[in-house]
Amino acid sequence: MWDSETESVGGRDYKNGGLCSSKHNVKTDGFELKGNSWYVATDIPSDLLVQVGDVNFHLHKYPLLSRSGKINRVIYELRNPDLSKMCLDDLPGGPQAFELAAKFCYGIAVDLTAANISGLRCAAEYLEMTEDLEEGNLIFKTEAFLSYVVLSSWRDSIVVLKSCEKLSPWAENLQIVRRCSESIAWKACANPKGIRWAYTGKPTKVANPNWGDMKDSSPSRSQQVPPDWWFEDVSILRIDHFVRVITAIKVKGMRFELIGAAMMHYASKWLPGLINEGTGTADEGSNSSNSTSNSSGSWKGGLHMILAGNKDESSSVQAKDQRMIIESLISIIPPQKDSVSCSFLLRLLRMANMLKVAPALVTELEKRVGMQFEQATLADLLIPSYNKCETMYDVDLVQRLLEHFLVQEQTEISSPSQQSFPGKHYDDLQRSTGPNAKMRVARLVDSYLTEVSRDRSLSLTKFQVLAEALPESARICDDGLYRAVDSYLKAHPTLSEHERKRLCRVMDCQKLSIDACMHAAQNERLPLRVVVQVLFCEQVKISNALATSSLKEAGDSQYQPMVSNRKTLLEGTPQSFQEGWAAAKKDINTVKFELESVKAKHLELQHDMENLQRQFDKMSKNKQTSAWSSGWKKLSKQLTKNTNLENQNIGPEHTTAADQQTTKTPRKWRNSIS
C-alpha cells in the first residue's frame, strides 16, 4: 500500500529514478576504478584530483565548477586557478556519495534508491549543488525523490532512516530524520487492514508453496494483520532514531500497551543481557513476538551491534552503547501503569545499576517499579549489589522499591480521582491496589527475606527494617515471616539473646498457623520467651477450635462467623503448613478427650468441696461460745443428772442425810477437778 509501484523484483531501483544532466561538457563513457582511484573514461586528461577519505577521484574542473558552489568557492577564494588537488574528508556519505554526485556532474545516469538517497542528498547539500548554478540540480532532484517516492513507502522510510545513522548531523539538519520518523509513525498508527505483508518485515509463511495456493494464502485475504506488525521493522533502528519514531507514534495517539510492547521487543534485540538472565521480555508484552523474532529476512544486518577493536575496547564501547539504550528507553516509557511489565522494569533496573546509569533516571525507574511492585517475582528481585556493598544482594534497593509502592498506594487511596483514569483502566487500577496488592507484596517480601537471610553479611537492622516496612494488616498469616526469621537464625548462630529477641519481634505469634506453632515450640534457636508465647497462642487456638466444635454440635447461631474466620486463617496459611492439618486434628481430638476427663474430675472435686463447705458451716454455728464455757455446761449437765439419780435411790425418809450430803457435794466436786 505504501511502497512504490515501480520497484523492481531484484532490488530497489526505480524507473523514474535515473538522474542525468542534459549538458555534456566532457564526453565520457563512464568511470573506471583502478585500485583506490576513480578515472573518467575520456581522452581529455584530468586536471583536478579530489581526495575523499582514502579514495582518489581524477576529474575535470569545469563539470564540477558548473554545478558545485563549494568547489567554486574553494578554487576562486584561494585565488589559485591552477589548483589541482582538493581534499574533502568531511563530505557526508563518503566516497560512495561523491561518486554519484560526480557522475551527475558529468551527465551520467544515476539510479536513485532508498539505500543511497540520504547520502546523496547530504552530499549535494555539502557541495552546494543548488538551483542558482543550474536548473534541476542535484539538491532539487534528491529532494523530490525523498518527498514523492521514499516517504510514501513504509519500507523505504525505514531504509532511509537506517542509512541516516552515519550522516549526523547533516541528515538531522536537513529534516530527513524527522520526515522519515513522522512517515513511519503515520503508517504504524493507520488501519492495518490494507497493509500487505510483503511490505513489512514479516513474509508469508507457506509450507509447500506453489502457483496454485500462493494466491489463496495472501495474508490480506485470509489472515488478519496483528497490531504489532511494525515491531520488527522499527527494532532495527539505532536508539536515537527509535526514540524519534516512538515519540512521533505517541503524538499520533497509539495505545500505550502497544508502545510498551514495542519497547520490550526493541530491548530484547539490543540488550541481550535481559534475555540471558530469564525469559524473553518481548513475550511478556506481545502475543506475536515469537513469530517476529526470526522473520526479519533481509533486515538481519541491523539487529545486532558489530563492534571492532580489541576485547577491552569492545567491552567498553558495548557498555557505553547499552547504557545509552537503557537511558533512552527509561525516558520514553509511557506514564501509564501497565504499559510495560514489572519484570521488564526490574531487569532494566538491574542492568542500569550494573552499567551505572544516571542516578536521576535510576530513581525514575525505581518509582515506575514501585507503581506495579505487586506484579514482581522473587527471581527478578534478587538483584546483585554492584556498589561494593557488604551484602550479596541489593537489599537497600528492594527497601526503596517497597517505599515507592507504599507511597504510591497511599496517594491513590487519598486522592482516587476517577477523571485521571477513565473507563476500564480505572477499574483495573482499583482492583490492583488495596489489601490484595499489599498481601501479594507481603508474600513477596517474606520470600525475599527468606532468600537473602542466608547471607551472613546481612545485618539485623536491614532485615528488621525491611520486615517491618509493611503495615500489620498486610499479613493475615506470619508463617512466611517465621520462615525468614528461622532462616536468619540458622545462618547467624552467633546472635546474642537480646538480638534474637529483637529479631523475633518482627513476627506476631498470634498469626502463626498450628503447624508453624508446632515447629516453633520445638525450635531451639528461638528465645525461651518466644517459645512460651507460641505455646500460649497455640493453646488459645486449640481452645477456640474446641469451642467452635462445641458450638457446631449445639447448633449455636454464633458458629457461622467463627467458621468463616477459621477459613480465612487457613486461606492465609501457606500450603506447606496446611498439609499437616489432618495430623493436627488428631492431636486436637486427643486433647479434647483429656479435657473431658479433667472436667469430670473437676465436677467431683466441686461436689466434695460443697460437702466440706456445708460441714464447715455447721461447725461455725456451734462455735458461738468458747471451749471453756461449753466444757462447764457439759459438766453441769452431768452433775445434774447424777443428783437426780441419787435422789431417786434414797427416798423421802432420808431427807436429813440427803441435805447433809448435798452440803458436802461441792467439796467433793472441787476435789474431783483438782
Q: What is the mean pLDDT of residues 315-323?
A: 86
Asked if the model's pLDDT at residue 303 lies above 70, the reply is no
Higher pLDDT, 567 or 494: 494
For residue 412, what pLDDT band results from cuts at 50, 70 and 90?
confident
Range of lowest pLDDT (333-347, 401-415, 490-504, 587-601): 587-601
For residue 29, what pLDDT band results from cuts at 50, 70 and 90?
low
For residue 30, what pLDDT band results from cuts at 50, 70 and 90?
confident
The alpha carbon torsion through 510, 516, 518, 524 (nearest 10 deg) reads -100
| Local structure of 556: helix, strand or coil | coil
491-498 CB contacts, 8 Å cutoff, 24+ apart: 491/453, 491/454, 491/455, 491/456, 492/456, 492/460, 493/525, 495/460, 497/527
Asked if the model's pLDDT at residue 269 lies above 70, the reply is yes
Asked if the model's pLDDT at residue 653 lies above 60, the reply is no
SS (H, E, C) 345-387: HHHHHHHHHHCCCCHHHHHHHHHHHHHCHHHCCHHHHCCECCC
Per-residue pLDDT of 611-640, as tens digits, reads 888 888 888 776 655 555 555 555 566 666
* Strand pairing category for 48-52 and 37-40: unpaired
160 and 180 Cβ atoms separated by less than 8 Å: yes
Range of lowest pLDDT (37-51, 140-154, 157-171, 176-190): 37-51
The alpha carbon torsion through 356, 359, 363, 368 (nearest 10 deg) reads -50
| Local structure of 472: helix, strand or coil | helix
Question: Which pLDDT belongs to residue 642?
Answer: 58
With cell 561523491, the residue in question is 98
For residue 518, what pLDDT band results from cuts at 50, 70 and 90?
confident
* Average pLDDT of the chain, as a whole number: 75
Q: What is the mean pLDDT of residues 534-538?
A: 77
247 grid coordinates: 515519540
Question: Which pLDDT belongs to residue 10?
Answer: 32
| Local structure of 330: helix, strand or coil | helix
Higher pLDDT, 33 or 78: 33
119 and 94 Cβ atoms separated by less than 8 Å: yes
Q: What is the mean pLDDT of residues 271-289?
A: 49
Asked if the model's pLDDT at residue 203 lies above 80, the reply is no
Range from 324-328, 353-357, 383-387, 413-417 that averages highest in pLDDT: 324-328
167 and 119 Cβ atoms separated by less than 8 Å: yes
Range from 25-34, 352-361, 551-560 that averages highest in pLDDT: 352-361
Residue among 334, 398, 335, 391 at smallest CA distance from 366: 398
Question: Which pLDDT belongs to residue 411?
Answer: 81
Question: Which pLDDT belongs to residue 61?
Answer: 86
Range of lowest pLDDT (157-161, 235-239, 312-316): 312-316
With cell 511490505, the residue in question is 199
Per-residue pLDDT of 54-110, as tens digits, reads 999 999 888 888 899 998 888 877 766 667 788 988 999 999 999 999 999 988 889
Q: Which amino acid is at 499?
A: E
Distances (CA, A) of 558 to 540, 547, 562, 571, 592: 18, 11, 7, 21, 21
From the CB of residue 228, how many other CB atoms can be counted at a distance below 10 Å? 22
Q: Count the residues in the chain.
A: 674
